[in-house]
Amino acid sequence: MNPKKSVKGQAAVEFALVLPFLLLLIIGIAEMGYVFYDYIVLAASNREGVRLGSRGQFSELSMIERIVATGGVQTVEDVTEPVLRTSGANPNFGVLITTIAISPTGELSIGTPVITGVVATADEGLRPLTPEDTRINPAEYATKGDLTAKINTLRTTDDFETLRNDIVIVETFYAHDVLFPPLAQLVNLSDPFPLYFKSSMRVLRANRLD
């Protein structure tokens, strides 16, 4: 037996054994990169919307329009459409905007959320977004109420007018279409894959539009 041919044959067998794992690794890296890119778009759009809302001069509809516009557009088969779509033939995005009003004495009042779009779930797939999909925990904002009350106590002592404190919270939901569905099935990854981002800011002015 030719030793060189034996070595080549062994190398070919070893490569054939390693190749499937190598391909899975490459595909997995590409998929994760795509997910990370979509998450960055989601986060940037969310923050742009909450910054607009914190100015206290714009309605929730204006905030949603800004969020969608920040996501950019894409062209598929000569059709240009938003990357973040809350409606239409192929929706993939949902927005839930909630305002928490904090009275001068620190009591929290959660307003009725403004909702549009869809959400991806592992059990139901893509479905309309509902108020029950919120991930807001009111306890997270209890300290802000306590702080507002303390500040107003000091303001009262110094004969200043007491102030209320409102917080706008923007939750965004994105349905990421998996690039390689067979891989998703192999690792039990839901397709579409749900992405979520939440941010909040204090409303700087009292003349917020309803």
Q: Please list the pLDDT of the chain residue by residue as tens digits (210 residues).
A: 555 555 566 667 776 777 777 877 887 788 888 999 999 999 999 999 999 999 888 889 999 999 999 999 988 778 889 999 999 888 999 999 999 988 888 888 898 999 999 999 877 889 999 999 999 988 888 888 888 888 888 888 888 888 778 899 999 999 998 888 777 677 677 888 899 999 999 887 554 444
What single-letter amino acid sits at 170?
Answer: V
* No. of helices (H) and no. of strands (E), the chain: 4, 8
* CA triple 137-143-149, angle to 5 deg: 130
For residue 93, which of 74, 109, 112 has the smallest C-alpha distance?
74
SS3 category, 185? helix
Question: Which DSSP category does 179 fall into?
Answer: S
Contact 190, 120 (CB under 8 A): yes
Contact 72, 83 (CB under 8 A): yes
Residues contacting 90, CB < 8 A, separation 6+: none
| Alpha-carbon gap, residue 62 to 158, rounded angstroms | 38
Residue 75 burial by Cβ neighbours in a 10 Å radius (0-12, 13-18, 19+): exposed
Give the per-residue pLDDT at 6.
58
Contact 92, 173 (CB under 8 A): no
Determine phi and psi for 127, rounding to 5 degrees.
Answer: -150, 165
Stated pTM of the model:
0.83
Give the per-residue pLDDT at 210.
43
Question: Which DSSP category does 177 fall into?
Answer: P
> Tokens 């479905």 belong to which residue?
127
